[in-house]
Copies of this chain bind each other. A is one copy, B any other.
């Protein structure tokens, strides 16, 4: 993503200059390993972009960019244990490469380090507000993860509950990235609130887009195997919406497909996808996504700065929630 390049270069340089180098190294090496697996550095870029809305010297926001990326990677390390995931960004997950115990403990220390790095901020008056947002967000992400785990065994998940879950699990951190960048820039409370709401709604739209792409995306562009959510019987927006609009025959067919073990995964993906298409789910999901996108941009519009300054953020939002099916 060309747009992110400037921020990625800045962040990756900072990361390289600030490796975890405590002892014993068995604790810190897994943390360095996951941090260096790469990724788009979307969250650090969002911190820097939010800071840049209001101020130019964006290297001052780098400790915050570090904080959110360390936190994000902590959550990946622990989530991968819980999901028994073997591969992350084409490489072994931390618990696979080292051990579950190491992954638990290294994750723990990363969670603390993510908080501690905020003390590196030069404007010391911002540290306490930043830690407050960090703690609130970390708690929300845990709550979202627990809701997601609960959904696995629940049969009556509603769409509002699903939106709440993805708000906590995914959108809260994206929103916090923008909020923390804005706090560090020392802009006013109203701007901070608006940029947060922009991030929260973009984050929800981002997850809805991810749901859409997981089933209807172009495998060449999506990167992951299409149909993963269907195989895992995940109650995504697509499925919940389908259960809402389906007639009782279609409902039964969908429930049967989801509750019957199958050996032919491709056939299952094909049948569920076909049913979702019949129910017009791609359009309905796009409409839902659009709703949150509109809310997001309404918040952004309230921020009284030249539109040109908002350009990186609006472009980023368009890209992450608008990739074509």
Q: Which residues of A pack against B, CB within 8 Å? A: 22-24, 26-27, 78, 81-82, 101-102, 104-105, 107-109, 111-113, 115-116, 119, 127-128, 131-132, 135-136, 138-139, 142-143, 145-147, 149-150
A235 to B149, CA, bound (A): 39
- Chain B residues within an 8 Å CB radius of A136: 116
- Which B residues are in CB contact (< 8 Å) with A142? 27, 105, 108-109, 112
With A132-B119, A139-B116, A142-B112 given, is the CB distance from A24 to B150 under 8 Å? Answer: yes
A112, closest chain B residue (CB): B138
- The one of B26, B78, B127, B150 in contact with A128, judged by C-beta atoms closer than 8 angstroms, is B127
Chain B residues in 8 Å Cβ range of A105: 78, 82, 142, 145-146, 149
Question: Which of A22, A131, A132 is packed against the most chain B CB atoms within 10 Å?
Answer: A131
A22 proximity list for chain B (CB < 8 A): 139, 143
Instruction: For A103, give the chain B residue with the smallest CB separation.
Output: B104
Q: How many copies does the complex hold?
A: 2
Interface of A (DSSP majority class): helix
Q: Are A112 and B139 in contact (CB under 8 A)?
A: yes
A23 / chain B contacts, CB cutoff of 8 Å? 143
Known pairs A27-B146, A112-B139. 8 more at Cβ < 8 A?
Answer: A24-B147, A26-B149, A78-B108, A82-B105, A101-B149, A105-B145, A116-B135, A127-B128
Q: How far, in whole Å, are A78 and B150 apart by their CA atoms in the complex?
A: 21
For residue A111, which residues in chain B have a CB less than 8 angstroms away from its CB? 108, 111-112
Q: Within the complex, what minimum Cβ distance (angstroms) separates A168 from chain B?
A: 10
Q: Are the CB atoms of A115 and B135 closer together than 8 Å?
A: yes
Select from chain B the residue with minimum beta-carbon distance to A78: B104
Q: What are the residues of chain B within 8 A of A145 when measuring CB–CB?
A: 105
Q: Which of A102, A131, A138, A146 has the most B CB atoms < 10 Å from its CB? A: A146
Complex Cα spacing A108 to B74, Å: 10
How far, in angstroms, from A101 to B146 measured CA to CA in the complex?
A: 9
The 7 closest A-B pairs by CB, nearest first: A27-B146, A109-B142, A116-B135, A82-B101, A112-B138, A24-B146, A112-B139
